[in-house]
Structure 1
Amino acid sequence: MDNLKRAAIFAALFAFAGLQALAQDVTLTSRDGKVELIGTLLGFDGEFYRLQTEYGELTVDGSGVNCEGPGCPNLQDFVAEIQLSGSATMGAVLMPALIDAFAQRNGYKVNRETVDATRFAYVLTRADTGKTAARFYFRATNTDEGFADLLADEADIVLALREVRRDERINARDAGMGDLTGANRSRVLALDAVVPVASASNPIKAISPLDLARVFGGQITNWQELGGPDAPIDLHLPSLSSGLSQAIVDQVMAPVQLEFAEGITRHALPSEIADAVARDTFALGITSYAERRNTQVLTLGGTCGFFLDAARRTIKTEDYPLTAPMFLYFPARRLPLIAREFLAFTRGPGAQNVIRRAGFVDQTPEEIPVDEQGNRFANAITVAGGETSLEELQRMTATLTPMARLTTSYRFEAGSIRLDAQSRSNVQQLARALEQGKYDARQLLFVGFSDGDGAAKANRDIALRRAQAVRRAVSAAAVTANMERVNVGVDAFGEAMPMACDDTAWGRQVNRRVEVWVR
């Protein structure tokens, strides 16, 4: 038996034995012997016991009790165990890369123990003592399975390529796991995007979001209908249970109320989609931006002449409409200290570098000078209608030209005043930056923009109210910031600077935004 097989068997047996031990009854007794709790040990984070008792699930400070029973942990050589389940894309590439970087920074050695294609563990040992500090157990399948494992109490962290569904949220709340949409129950780890891809040899370079949905809905079946050669379109998508597939449903198909056609080739991994499309001149796929590989990413176009390319900056700003944040979800319980330290590390600049190297889009705010913003101001002049006056365009240009745009932008869920998931994460990020003094002695301007549906004055008023709401949300989140050190203002230019065509729901949603400008 080779070493790899030994390690796999050992990891499987260890995980099974750990679950068996935690399933046994233990007795927690106070130091003075006056209080006694009997129950099933659900977890121990090195400081607190989590116990299922006749009174419900309880969390007990380990410093105040003695533990008796076969399930009691070894306090002297405690090993933190963290169960992660969900997206294979996140579990196979991104999270291991972040664990490696965290270990190197904090003096741990890392060893991978593989059970099978979907189950593996990263073991962190202290470089100075050789003692094991933590085991990060992974079950890398798909987002659905991640939430199922969480509800079965078999996961501490869910890796998700989509937001939690309503039924999952209700079931988690009913199971005592808290509201998974709460501020401390979820967060965006990194950014990705849904992109249409074709072979590099395909002459088609752009496609409208509507036509993309019609192709995968079976209404367009030949490249000739898109201006290409007379050949049938061979379609490729992720597996139905993947979070990426569900994101495609939400962002591509649902806005035009279409369902997927029959006969689409499904793939377990996004990279397999790219490889299949790259080999076939007449194939069309939808995959993740990070896994586009050697394919040609098609530009999203519109009837008004605006085009939206997927790129690192346009994904950060959500100017590209089909963004796909990558989420971490946690139940309402304490994680071991090393897990909390790891999660804190994932927010820092070192982790953002790892995210970029892994092919995903990081969340580090960037300042984009006006001269690097392409044709945005030229487009504003080109599409200006009778209600957008030259005076308003001049006012916008005079206000924004001396400033730089932050990639931190804010957009709203379709048909709602609620910020979308990426924007809610951006509220927390900008708030932390303010607390750290990164914008002290500088000017921040929250600028509201709207779509062109309706009267220009009404649109500007709506955009101004949205900008004010975002400013209030950021200020409320920046609890420890000294806001007197920052010059924070609000303005709005309504429909004066569209990013996309207003003739589709996608375009209107892209145009409704609050940007942050800095000087």
Structure 2
Amino acid sequence: MPRAMTASDKDMWGRGLSMLLLGFICYAFPWSVFAAQPETVLRIQGSNTIGAKLGPALVKGMLEEEGLRAVHQTPGDRENEVHIVAHDAQGKEIQVELAAHGSSTGFVALKESSADLAASSRPIKDAEAQDLSSFGDLRSQHAEQVIAIDGLAIILHPGNPLRALTTAQLAAVFAGEVKTWEELGGKGGAIHLYARDDQSGTYDTFKELVLVRQGKALAATAQRFESNDKLSAAVSADPQGIGFVGLASINQARALAIADGDSLAMPPSAELIATEDYPLSRRLFLYMKPGEQNRWAKALVQFAQSARGQAIVGQSGFVAQQVLAIKVQTKQDMPENYRELASNAQRLSVNFRFQEGSATLDNKAQRDVQRVLDYLKQTNKLEQKVVLVGFGDPKADPQRAELLSKLRAMAVRRELTKGGVTLRDVTGLGDELPVAANTAEEGRIRNRRVEVWVY
């Protein structure tokens, strides 16, 4: 007859069973599963244009600026997602999560509180602002942060000889109405279309600046991509291809010069994108809820606007918002006084623009005031060295157009005067030298601008 188990037997049996169970768990599951996971301190969702390169670079720079160590990037749970991991002074591991699935996803995530910042390669839409209005005004200067300027590049295979197109021609091509390269004066047969997906801010920008203005829609035959870089690679490999990407993703493809309305054909050069004169230039944004308390979100926004942050913008293939002086080539079709400026002065790489239907400087322009003031102080040009030139859209009375353009320049003068600037001259050139078509409100807003020239 088996003897009854003693307390000692039970204890040995329990220890043996525990060891067996622990051995099974260690075999079946890697120990890393049970390791402490990094604390997520910041979540960013939205634009692939920002999330692919610029966002991670800015986050790394911000973490280093905050004194964190061993900053590195690891893959996220899905494609176009990454984690930026670092250690604080106490050795604690933290991470920032970035998901880059398109600008619209960022605003959805803000509403659902699954993100602290929305990255967007276009301005917030009216419907999105309304949807988030319970959190405050997402268009306020605090909530809306322009972190970089980008140019939407129209790209071809490097062997394609075509050099320039108008926005009207572009719309006809991407609507599928122009089907062959021969119809554009080139060669190569059928045109193959490449476009970003519907979640993309890059696509939204192209749709608004090109397709919608011409009353057209994207052809169903276009191949769609979530990634700028993958689209660029596809066009580079297709002699019949044409597509659109952010400036940082031109890579091996070749970019066209683009004309809009009465503007000259302009390449997506850094200077023309910095001033937003290039017809397909656009702003890149970070949006956060007004009153956001996440210190890491506020630190990233502040870092992105700093000199070091803007240096990272330039290193990432985008156009930084630092102020530079540019020599402009004189042309015979320039107004006489403007030609005199181009001959004897330099233009700064910033244009002041205004809120829609208002003489109030927009959010970017309000920050640009300080950037211009800093430049003028550093270069000793505060006294009688600055000329402001205002521009606008056509009016029935040309004198009214000229007056309105000068009033815009005077609005900028008021802000610069507060910073100690004594101007050399303030003038308005009405609807001269347009940079966009005046047939749509977006184009008229772009033409309502103030240039800064320095002697």
Q: SS of the counterpart of 1:407? A: strand
CA contact (8 A) 1:450 1:463 kept: yes
Whether 2:328 is the aligned partner of 1:363: answer no
Q: Is the 8 A contact 2:328 2:346 kept in 1?
A: no
Alpha-carbon spacing, 1:202–1:496, altered in 2? closer, same or farther (3 Å): same
Hey, what's the Cα distance between the residues in 2 that align with 1:163 and 1:7? 45
Structure 1 residue 155: deviation in Å? 1.0
Q: What is the deviation of 1:267?
A: 0.9
Q: Structure 1: 5+ residue runs without aligned partners?
A: 16-78, 382-392, 476-480
1:426 and 2:365 are equivalent in the alignment: yes
Matched, 1:242 2:200: yes
Correspondence 1:167-246 to 2 at 5 A: 167-174=127-134, 177-229=135-187, 231-246=189-204
2:453 matched to 1:494?
Answer: no
RCO greater where, 1 or 2, for CA within 8 Å and sep 6 or more?
Answer: 2
Alpha-carbon offset, residue 332 of structure 1: 2.1
Q: Does 1:379 align with 2:340?
A: no
Tell me: CA distance 1:114–1:397, structure 2 relative to 1, closer, same or farther (3 Å).
Answer: closer
Q: How many residues align?
A: 423
Structure 1 residue 448 corresponds to structure 2 residue 390: yes
8 Å CA contact retained: 1:189, 1:328: yes
Q: What corresponds to 1:406 in structure 2?
A: 348
- 1:31 maps to none
Change (3 A) 1:340 1:301: closer
Deviates more, 1:492-501 or 1:454-463: 492-501
Choose from 386, 393, 401 the match for 1:459: 401
Q: Secondary structure at the match of 2:333?
A: helix
What are the residue-to-residue correspondences of 1:235-384 with 2, within 5 Å? 235-301=193-259, 306-368=264-326, 372-375=327-330, 377-380=331-334
Cα distance in 2 for residues equivalent to 1:7 and 1:378? 74
Please tell me whether the aligned partners of residues 112 and 122 of structure 1 are also in contact (alpha carbons under 8 angstroms): yes
What pairs with 1:474-489 in structure 2 (closer than 5 Å)? 474=415, 482-487=418-423
Letter in 1 for 2:329: G
Cα deviation, residue 291, structure 1: 0.6
In structure 2, what is the equivalent of residue 101 of structure 1?
61
Which amino acid in 1 is paired with 2:277?
A: D
Of stretches 278-287 and 303-312 in structure 1, the one that deviates more from structure 2 is 303-312
Letter in structure 2 aligned against 1:360: F
Taking structure 1 as reference, are residues 156 and 464 closer, same or farther at Cα in structure 2, changes over 3 Å only?
A: same
- Rate the CA distance shift 1:239–1:90 in 2: closer, same or farther, 3 A: same
* Residues 503 and 380 of structure 1: CA distance in aligned 2, closer, same or farther (over 3 Å): farther
State the TM-score, normalizing by the size of structure 2.
0.82
Which residue identity is paired with 1:374? Q
1:246 and 1:456 mapped to 2: Cα distance? 34
Any idea what SS the aligned residue of 1:308 has? coil
Tell me if the contact between 1:410 and 1:419 (Cα under 8 Å) persists in the aligned partners. no
Percent same amino acid at aligned positions?
Answer: 25
Check 1:506–1:7 CA distance in 2 against 1; reply closer, same or farther (3 A cut).
farther
Deviation at 1:265, TM superposition (A): 0.6
In structure 2, C-alpha distance between the alignment counterparts of 1:187 and 1:240, rounded to whole Å: 23
Counterpart Cα distance in 2 of 1:497 and 1:85 = 39
Question: What SS does the corresponding residue of 2:194 show, helix, strand or coil?
Answer: strand
Which deviates more, 332-341 or 138-147? 332-341
Deviations 1:431-453 (A, max 9, x none): 35537955763443321123566
Residues 6/494 of structure 1: CA separation in 2 closer, same or farther (3 Å cut):
farther
Q: Deviations over 1:246-274 (max 9, x none)?
A: 11111111111211122111011111121
In structure 2, C-alpha distance between the alignment counterparts of 1:130 and 1:147, rounded to whole Å: 34
Task: For 1:447, give the aligned amino acid.
Answer: V
Q: Give a deviation string over 1:301-346, Cα, whole Å, max 9, x none.
A: 4787832111111001111011121110001233343443332222
Three-state SS of the structure 1 residue aligned to 2:152 is strand
Matched letter for residue 492 of structure 1: G
Deviates more, 1:81-90 or 1:234-243: 81-90
Distance 1:417 1:281, change over 3 A: farther
SS of aligned partner of 2:100: strand
- Once residues 410 and 7 of structure 1 are traced to their aligned partners in structure 2, the CA distance between those partners, rounded to angstroms, is 57
* More strand as a share of residues: 1
